[in-house]
Structure 1
Amino acid sequence: MSRPLVPGLLAENTTDELFLGPVVFRQLRALTEKRGRHSVDVAKTEIGECWTIKGTDQVAKAVLELAEDCHIICVHNDHNERSKAERVIDLLGEHGLRKPVIPLVPVRETEAWLLADPGPWDGLRGSDIAHLPGRPRDVEKLPDPKLVLDAVRPKNNRRPQADYFDYLGQNVDLDVLAQIPAYAGWVAETEKALEGLGYL
């Protein structure tokens, strides 16, 4: 019999949810398949009712609501709100929350992580991968990842930009993402939390 593992996510907006939701699910599944002490049934990532651009109290309340159904919760913020995830975690500690809450914070913006792996882009007709950085870790050095994302994505169709976030979340190579220091840091914290919960 497998042990359930339900991840939760609070992100800054819908496109971040579309990319990070599948990535969180896939990464937890990969970790538990590789190092799991038991058979683990990772559920699809539960998305919280509040975006993390809201106030600290509202975000903390949303985490507490997610914690009712989730075993581990990720709180995403981009660089300009980097300290908010830590403030939320401190506030949750005051509320006595025992479940792990892990900050998921790119150095700049989530869009940079969509640019790390040329593989999924290569499968999209009309995408221009010449604009991608040479090494995955270099995506965090891009001054404006959104501009690069706009240059890479195909111009010859009418798909909304949000479709690319979901597609890349489902298809980006996790080993490539792990070459990005901020992502690797999140994976390391997640592994530690899973060990504490007895999954690894």
Structure 2
Amino acid sequence: MKYRPLQPGLLVEGNSDEPYLRHLVKRHLDEVILNRSTRPVQVLGCQLSEVRTTAEPAEVLRAAAELGRDCDLLFVHGDADALDKTLKLVAALAEQRSRADRSGLPIPLVPVSMTESWMLADRTALASVLGAKTLAGYPYTKVSDVENRVRCHGSKKPVTPKQVWKTLLGDDAHDVLTDSAELLVRRTDLAVLKQLPSYRAWCDLTEDALGELGYLLHRR
């Protein structure tokens, strides 16, 4: 049976975002294609740009356009504080795509707070990867709280998800998250992530793009 390939590409804001998001993109696409594709499709691993979305706009645009030539979908990541910049880049890429022979369809990937908030959403998955003792100071009572600042044990004021990770894992937080990213994505219940408005919004944009490219018959 002949498979139609689906090649995603990804530009991220920082080094800490890449390991988790590239695996999450692949897993989400695998799930959607498995459940709703109109034909056999092989989702390929994410191609990554070495240029970060925090670089100079012209450099990011050049890098994104170059990566997009080899991709069907081009995910452009930015944290919430860079939303306007991310949307402008996506709009510029969409305009370029209208004149190109081959260019991936650009999609913004913007967590409400930061990538670390999505990583904190599924406490059960976290416990299975990092151990229950590590999560003794987990500060959230419901999934939606991960998109807000919260007080951690010992903190005088509400802190960001990135600071929550440092509280839980100490100074090794970056290395631990990098090493654990693939396993965490594999064990995360995507239904839990879909309780987050920012994740649902990204899913909707992705499924719209897949429909536009003919990978899906229709949106739910």
The alpha carbon displacement at 1:169 in A equals: 3.1
Structure 2: which amino acid aligns with 1:81?
A
TM-score, normalised by the number of residues in structure 2: 0.83
Q: Whose radius of gyration is greater, 1 or 2?
A: 2
Partner Cα separation in structure 1 for residue 188 and residue 93 of structure 2: 32
Partner of 1:146: 162
Structure 2 counterparts to residues 147-186 of structure 1, below 5 A: 147-153=163-169, 160-186=176-202
8 Å contact from structure 1 (residues 73, 102) kept in 2: yes
Q: How far apart, in 2, do the equivalents of 1:94 and 1:128 lie?
A: 45
Q: Tell me what 2:90 maps to.
A: 89
Give the C-alpha shift of residue 137 in structure 1: 1.9
8 Å contact from structure 1 (residues 115, 132) kept in 2: no
Which one of 190, 196, 200 corresponds to residue 212 of structure 2? Answer: 196
The RMSD of aligned alpha carbons is 2.3
User: Is the Cα contact below 8 Å between 2:94 and 2:106 reproduced in 1?
Assistant: no
Contact 2:111–2:198 (CA<8 Å) still a contact in 1?
A: yes
Task: String of CA shifts for 1:2-36, please: whole Å, max 9, x gaps.
Answer: 11001010001122010100000000010000111
Query: Secondary structure at 1:15's aligned position in 2?
Result: coil
Contact 1:15–1:165, Cα closer than 8 Å, also in 2: no
Per-residue CA deviations over 1:37-75 (Å, capped at 9, x if unaligned) read 011100011111211111222111111111121100100
Q: 1:110 aligns with which of 86, 102, 115?
A: 115
Alignment of 1:112-127 (within 5 A): 112-123=117-128, 124-125=130-131, 126-127=133-134
User: Counterparts of 1:6-155 in structure 2 under 5 Å?
Assistant: 6-95=7-96, 96=99, 99-123=104-128, 124-125=130-131, 126-142=133-149, 143-153=159-169
The secondary structure found in structure 1 opposite 2:208 is: helix
Shift of 1:105: 0.5
* Preserved contact between residue 132 and residue 152 of structure 1 (Cα < 8 Å): no
Q: Give me the TM-score of the superposition, normalised by structure 1.
A: 0.90
Instruction: Spell out, residue by residue over 1:85-129, the C-alpha distance to the aligned partner (whole angstroms, 9 max, x if none).
Output: 111122223423563101000111111111100122212233215
Q: Quick one: which amino acid aligns to residue 124 of structure 2? A: G
1:167 alignment partner, SS class: helix
| Identity over aligned pairs, percent | 34
Aligned length: 200
Partners of 1:118 and 1:91 in 2: how far apart?
A: 38
Q: Is the 8 A contact 1:82 1:105 kept in 2?
A: yes
Q: Distance in 1 between matches of 2:172 and 2:60?
A: 39
Structure 1 unmatched ranges of 5 or more: none
Cα drift, residue 150 of structure 1: 2.1
Structure 1 position 165, deviation (Å): 3.4
- Opposite residue 144 of structure 1, the aligned amino acid is T
